[in-house]
Each structure stands twice: as C-alpha cells, then as structure tokens.
Structure 1
Amino acid sequence: MPNDRPGYGEPLLLGVPRAAFRPSPVFLALVALFVTTGALTWHRVGNVRLDVFGFVVSGWLVSLCLHEYAHALVAFRAGDRSVAHRGYLTLNPLKYSHPLLSIALPVVVVLLGGIGLPGGAVWVDRHRIPGRLRHTLVSLAGPATNVLFTVVLVVALRLGADDAYPEFWAGVALLAFLQLTASLLNLLPVPGLDGGNMIQPWLSPQWQRGYDLMAPFGFLLLFGLLWNPRVGGWFFDAVFALADLLGLPAPFYAYGLELIRFWQG
C-alpha cells in the first residue's frame, strides 16, 4: 500500500511520485546559464556579443520550458496524470518532443529571423480531461506564459533601461520581442498550434475530424502563411504595432538582434 510519508518509499502527490515535479538538472543548468550570461553582459566581460547570444538563447529556452510546463501543469490539474509520468512536469526541454525540431529549429529561426517560433510539444491524453473548457485552458496556458513573459520584460525594460548598459537592455528587449511574436504565433487559429487547439473542442464532430487531419501539418501551414508577402506583412505589422503600443523600443530589440549574430561582426 503506498505511503505518502517522507522517508517511507517514494512520497506521492495526487498519486504521482514527488520526483516527477522536481525541476530537472537540464532546466536548472539553463537557468544558471541565463543568469550567468546576463551578468557577463551587464559587466561586459569577454566578448559581449557572445554574452548577449548566450543570454538571449538561454532565456528563450527557459521560456520554452515554462511554456510547455504550463500546458502540462494545467492538463495535470484537469485530470491527466500521464503528463507527470512522461516527465513533462520536470521542465526538462528534452522531454518536450524531438530535440532537433523542438529546440534546435526554433533557436535557428530566432537567430536568423528574429521570430519566436513555437517550439516543443507535450502530448496530452485528452480522453482523461472532461469538458471542453478544460481542453481550451490547457491549450491557452502556454501562450499565456509567453504573454506574461512579454509583460514582465517590457516592464523591466521601461523601469530600468539606461544608456550605461546598452547591450544588456538590448538583450532584454529582444527577448521581449521574441516573446511577443511567440504569443501571437501561438494564438493564431492554425491547426496543430495552441490557437487552433483552443477552438478545436468547440467544433462539430465533422470539423474536428478535418482539424485532426490538418493538425500534423500545422507548422508547414504556418510557414506558408508567413511566407506569403501579404499575410506575413499583416502579421509583422500587427507585431510591430503591438510592440509600439507596449512601449517596446524598436532600436533596442533591433540592436539585440544585431548583437546575437556574432558571426557577422
């Protein structure tokens, strides 16, 4: 018979070992790298372009982990205990699908295009979660994390930015811009993305079947939409307008994008 007292077997939380909730060493290493490179950037130690590169990329990966963790945590609270057994609640980015497609590809897109491309994915057993609203909340949890990140970074930038530490604040501004683009991309009603998954439970059975057929090709559809000059133009016009509305200064995040491309300087 399971015993949830510490020191007797593996302590349980809602029927799941507490170890399933502990942050992984990989995530803790990413946080340590984020803090360390942020400090190096602040004090301009060594090659500042490499410092900003490490600061932005590690910060982006930390946000990716928290985005997927939010999906998993809401799913767990809604009734799907399998997310804990799969390791999704340990914040380990290697658990969130394929390392190349879920981690490497978004980082490359960040470096080359300055776009916060949606990254990893958690597999949720939808049959264990009752009610359409809960399914929508599971899908909303990830983008909500990006929105929160955006707000926190913009507030920090507006309260603390000065000319004494331009590289550091350029990195913060670029991270805020990436979070903003990720928020909007994830909320697009594209099959397979969070925005599409939010509305999927409310579709008729016939439309749900069509949606499920299209979902595996969501990334390709997203790239196709952004590649279209008109649609891509609309999207980036919306991003830049919202950035201006939030008070995110374009010169700062443009400078940040220039800095992380260290191979060009």
Structure 2
Amino acid sequence: MEKIGENICFGGRQLRYCHASDVLGCEMNFSIYLPPQAEQGKVPVLYWLSGLTCTDENFVTKAGAQRYAAEHGIAIVAPDTSPRGEGVPDDPEAAWDFGLGAGFYVNATQSPWSQHYRMYDYVVTELPALLKAQFPVDEARMAISGHSMGGHGALTIALKNPGRFKSVSAFSPICSPLRCPWGEKALGMYLGDDRATWAEHDSCALMAHVEEKLPALVDQGDADNFLQEQLKPELLQEVANSVGYPLELRMQPGYDHSYFFIASFIGEHIAFHASHL
C-alpha cells in the first residue's frame, strides 16, 4: 500500500491510499477517515459506496461527513466505484452509465468485463481484509451506506451478507435494477441475459426473502430527476411492508440527486449508524 494523501480534519486524519488489487487485477485507490478516537484503539467503521461516475474522492470532499464521524468516533471507508487503468475495458460507446466509474458492485461473468469487474468481491472480501491488517477498525462493528448506484450496492451487499453489518442506509438508491434502464444495461452486460442471475443484485428481490432484518434508513429527494425512471423507492417500500422489514424511507421535499442533498442529511445517517454500532 502506498499513502498518496493525508489531511488533518476535525482532529482525525483523512487518508488516501493506492494498492494493487488481486481481485480486480489493477491498481486501486481508496480513502479512509480515521477519527481522533482511533488514536486510542479500534473504532467502528462505515463503508460508503459512491454512485455513477464517482471515484473515492467525491464523498470525501463533498459530503462533509468527517465532522460527524469525529463526533461519533466512526471510521469511514470510501472505495472507488470500478476498476481502472490500462487494459481495463470501458463502455464501448464511452457512455457514463457503464464501465469505468460504474462497476455496480457485482462480479461480472461476461467477457470482457469478468477479468476486472469484480467490485462485489473487492468490497465484501479484499478491501475489508486489507483494512483489518492495516488500520484500527473493528470488523465486529461495521455498517454500510451509499448513494444512487452505491445505494444499490449498500443495500444488496447488506442483504446478501447476514451477520456482517449492524445497519444499512442509502441516499437515492437504485432500488430495483431489474426494472430500470441503468440496471438493465449494467446487469445485462456484466451478468448476461439470464435475468434470474440479476435478482441476486436487486434489493427488492433480495428483501423479499431476507434472512436478517437490519435497521435500514433511506432518504430520497422528491425533486430528483431520476426518481421515476431509475430509482423507484416505492417498490422497495412495498416489499418492506409485505415482509415486515424495518425500513425507514423518508421522502425529502425539494431535494435533488446531488451531493447538496447528501450533505444535508449525512449527519443524521451517521448518527443512525452510531446508534447501532
């Protein structure tokens, strides 16, 4: 691992690292905020998964989360959203909703994506093992959150890994990739034509057969221009109601899809996770 950035922030340290990923077959960057409490021992950790076109830096520089992480003594880990580098394939039409910056937190099975696009294994297995070995984070106290594509990633990863996380939250998540253009494109290209395999990465499909009912908080702006076509939180609410899942879905009047929205409520999300960590 090579440290490529360090800044003092609210008494803690905002760090950025580069490392060689065996899972993804390329160099990867990630950011981690260690609160002041990490100087005294292990702290709980919140994983943040960002959305389409983002890197590990968007959340770090725009959300203002460090203030709240320092108050509650929680580390925040922000991985990149896809593999990158020479030889990593991109969308053949250079579209922004697939390929680089759009890994969708799945393990691709289709060529040429399958060689590098294994973001699920990276987030679930490789990165946590690296962090456990290098940083004072408590793997018994983990939570996960994210935005848009990353909200989809946070929800699906939490639902697919019972016992791993204490809580899950999301901003403007893609709630059902099976039923939106972004999801149909990404899952179709990464996983192939068999829609049954897509269901393993669809929050609504997973929640319908959930093994563990984690506390879940979702915020969605009602002025989000992707709300009706891509995000569809009402589908997630319907499933939660049908199975008695403890989902708190909050529609926030006037808010859009931007980091201004995330910055407005990230303090409440971190407090939510702190209450369970």
Q: Normalising by the residue count of structure 1, what TM-score does the alignment of the two structures yield?
A: 0.34
Structure richer in helix, relative to its length: 1
Higher RCO (CA-CA < 8 Å; seq separation 6+): 1
Q: Rg bigger for which structure? A: 1
Structure richer in strand, relative to its length: 2
